[in-house]
Amino acid sequence: MKRAVVLLSGGLDSTTAAAVAKKDGYKIFALTIDYGQRHRIEINAAKQIAKALNAEQHIIFPINLRIFGGSSLTGDLEVAKDIPVEQIGNVIPTSYVPARNIIFLSTALAYAETVNAEKIYIGVSAIDYSGYPDCRPEFINAFENMANIATKFGTEGKKISIAAPLAKLDKTETIKLGLSLGVDYSLTHTCYDPTINGAACGRCESCLLRLQAFANAGINDPVKYDKKIR
Amino acid sequence: MKRAVVLLSGGLDSTTAAAVAKKDGYKIFALTIDYGQRHRIEINAAKQIAKALNAEQHIIFPINLRIFGGSSLTGDLEVAKDIPVEQIGNVIPTSYVPARNIIFLSTALAYAETVNAEKIYIGVSAIDYSGYPDCRPEFINAFENMANIATKFGTEGKKISIAAPLAKLDKTETIKLGLSLGVDYSLTHTCYDPTINGAACGRCESCLLRLQAFANAGINDPVKYDKKIR
C-alpha cells in the first residue's frame, strides 16, 4: 500500500486533507508539530482524528517556535479579534508564524524519507485564508522543487510530491468535501484563543472564517463556542 | 549594522562561514541546532566559537531528529569507518540525515524573520564533501527561491538571501580562508564518533576529509585525535 505523510494540526483543513489522502488510497503517517502554539488543545484534537482515520502511525513532533516568538500564536502579540470577515486575508496578520509551513513541510519531508512515503499532504488553501504567504500554491510548488533536489529520495529518481488538495477550495467547499468523505468535524479544533474548557472564542480570524463557512454551507458547526457571534 | 543568521554547528565549515559573515560586516545571530546528533560535543564547540566571534546572540535550538532516525548520526546505523578518501562522496553515506539542511535552513529562516536579518550563512560545500544532496548549490538556490515566496519578509519586497561562501571551495581552501580570517580551528569539532573524552576518532568520513585537508594545506590540525591515521 502506498504511503503518505499527512501534516495533521487537528484543525478543519488538515483533517479534510487527511481524509482526501485516505480516499486516494494511502496508508497514513500522521505528523503533528507541537510548536508551542497558544491553542495547545488542537494537539489533543489531532490525536483523536489520527485514531478516527486509522493512521498507521502518529508522531507528535516538538519544535518550540516560542524560542523565536514573533507571532500572536507563539509570542506575546495579541490574537486579533472581531476583524470584519471580508478584511481577513488583506494583510498578513499577527498570527503569522515566521516560516511555519516551511518548517512543517521540512519536518514532514524528513519523516517521509525515513518511512519511504511518496507524498506529503498539507491542508493549505489560498482561498478563505488568513493571508499567510506560506499557504499559496507558488510556495507549495517551490517547496516540492527544492525537496526533490535536496533529498536522497529525490536524487535516487523517486519523486516526492506535495499534495495540497484544498489549494483551490474555499472553506465552504472544504467542509462539503470533508462531509462527503465522512469527516467528523466535531473532533476538529480551529480557534486560536480557546477558553480554559476548550470552547472556541468565536471571535479570532480563524473562528470567524470557520463560522462563515459553516453558515454558507448551511450546516451547524458541531464544535462548542464560548459566545456565538452569528 | 546589517544582521545575518549563521548556522553554526561547531564544525570547521560553519565556523569558517561565520568568519566570512563577520568579514562581510554582519552582526552575527548564531543558530546551533541540537538535533540529537551522536557527536553532541560539537554543541559545546559551537558555544565557544560563538563567543570567540562576538556573536550578538546564540540560540541552541532543539529539534530531535532521533524521533525519525534513519541515519548513523541520529539512529542505530553504524558510523562508517576507514573509507578510502577518494571514494567519499561517490555514494550518499549512512551519515546522511534525511532533510537535515532543509530543516536547518527553515529554522534559520524563522529566526532571520524575527530578528530582521537579511542573510543566512551556511557552511555547505559541494567539493570535498560526503555526497549529501543538500550540500549542492542547486539546493541552496532552490531554497532561497522558495524562502522569498513563502515569508512575510519576502512578500514585503525585502529579499532574504542564503550565502554559502564555501560552496566552491575544497576543504583545503576553506582552511586557508579561515586562517586568513583568524579562525581558531582548535575550537572546532568535526568527528562523528568522538571518544568519551572528546578526542576525534580519525577514521570516520568527516575526520578523514578534515585530516586530508590539513595535510594538503601543510598545516597541523590543532584538535586532538584518538588515533592518528596519517
Q: What is the full DSSP assignment across A28-49?
A: EEEEEEE---S-THHHHHHHHH
Please determine, for residue A181, whether its predicted confidence score (pLDDT) is greater than 50: yes
Residues A168/A126, Cβ–Cβ less than 8 Å: yes
User: What pLDDT band is residue B129 in, cutting at 50, 70 and 90?
Assistant: low
CA of B18: how far to CAs of B10, B47, B135, B203, B219, in Å? Answer: 10, 13, 17, 26, 21
Q: Do B155 and A138 touch (CB under 8 A)?
A: no
Residue B201 lies in a domain: no
**pLDDT at position A143 over 70:** yes
Q: With 70 as the cut, is the pLDDT of residue A164 above it?
A: yes
Nearest to A102 by CA among A167, A162, A184: A162
B112 CA: distance to closest CA in chain A (Å):
9
> With 0-12 CB in 10 A as exposed, 13-18 as middle and 19+ as buried, what is B208?
buried
Which range has highest mean pLDDT (A85-89, A126-130, A194-198)?
Answer: A194-198
Is A229 among the domain residues?
A: no
Residues in B touching A70 (Cβ below 8 Å): 110, 113-114
pLDDT of B22 reads: 97
Helical (H) or strand (E) element with A4: strand A3-7
DSSP symbol at B80? P
Burial class (CB in 10 A: 0-12, 13-18, 19+), B34: middle
Quote the mean pLDDT of chain B: 90
For the entire predicted model, the pTM comes to 0.90
Supply the range of the domain harboring residue B165: 3-184
- For residue A133, the chain B residue with the least C-alpha distance is B150
CB contact under 8 Å between A98 and B152, yes or no, is yes
- DSSP-derived letter for residue A5 is E
Question: What are A142's three cell numbers?
Answer: 517551490
CB half-sphere exposure, B50, CA atoms < 13 A: 23
> What phi and psi, each to the nearest 5 degrees, are found at residue B212?
-65, -40
**Interchain pair B152, A139: CB under 8 A:** no
The pLDDT confidence band at residue A69, using thresholds 50, 70 and 90, is confident
Q: Which of A29-33, B35-39, B111-115, B191-195 has the lowest mean pLDDT?
A: B35-39
Q: Indicate the pLDDT class of residue B166, thresholds 50, 70 and 90.
A: very high
Select the more confidently predicted residue: B35 or B24.
B24
pLDDT at position B230 is 44
Mean pLDDT of B133-140: 89
Flag whether residue B210 sits within 8 Å of chain A, measured between CB atoms: no
A47 located within any domain = yes
Highest mean pLDDT, choosing among A62-71, A128-137, B16-25, B68-77: B16-25
Tell me whether residues A139 and B146 touch, CB distance under 8 A: yes
Query: Can you give the pLDDT at residue A129?
Result: 66
A24-51 pLDDT, tens digit per residue, is 999 999 999 998 887 788 999 999 999 9
Asked whether residue B64 is assigned to any structural domain, the reply reads yes
| Alpha-carbon dihedral sign for residues B58, B63, B66, B70 | negative
Q: A84: domain CATH number?
A: 3.40.50.620
Residue B193 lies in a domain: no
In a domain, B202, yes or no: no
Task: Record the cell numbers describing residue A5, joined without a space.
Answer: 505523510
Query: A195 to chain B, minimum CA–CA distance in Å?
Result: 28
Extract the C-alpha cell encoding A56: 498507521
- Mean pLDDT, residues A173-199 taken together: 94
Q: How far is A185 from chain B (nearest CA, A)?
A: 29
Residue A228: its pLDDT value, please?
55
The string of pLDDT tens digits covering residues B167-201 is: 999 999 999 999 999 999 999 999 988 988 889 99
Distance from CA of B104 to the nearest CA of A (A): 9
Within a domain: residue A175?
yes
Q: Residue A230: pLDDT band by 50, 70, 90 thresholds?
A: very low
Q: Is residue A228 part of a domain?
A: no
Write down the pLDDT at residue A128: 65
| pLDDT at position A170 over 80 | yes
Out of A12-26, A75-89, A209-223, pick the least confident: A75-89
Kindly report which listed range (B40-44, B108-112, B139-143) carries the lowest average pLDDT score. Answer: B40-44
Query: What's the domain count of chain B?
Result: 1
**Interface predicted TM-score (ipTM) of this complex, two decimals:** 0.87
**Lowest mean per-residue pLDDT among A48-52, A63-67, A150-154, B51-55:** A150-154
pLDDT grade, residue A131 (50/70/90)?
A: confident
Which of B33, B72, B113, B152 to mutate to probe the A interface, most A CBs <10 Å? B152
Q: In chain A, what is the straight-line distance between the N-terminal and C-terminal CA atoms, in Å? A: 44
- The string of DSSP letters for B93-151 reads -TT--TTHHHHHHHHHHHHHHHHT-SEEE----SSSS---GGGSHHHHHHHHHHHHHHS
- Interchain CB distance below 8 Å, B151 and A138: no
Percent of chain B with pLDDT over 70: 96
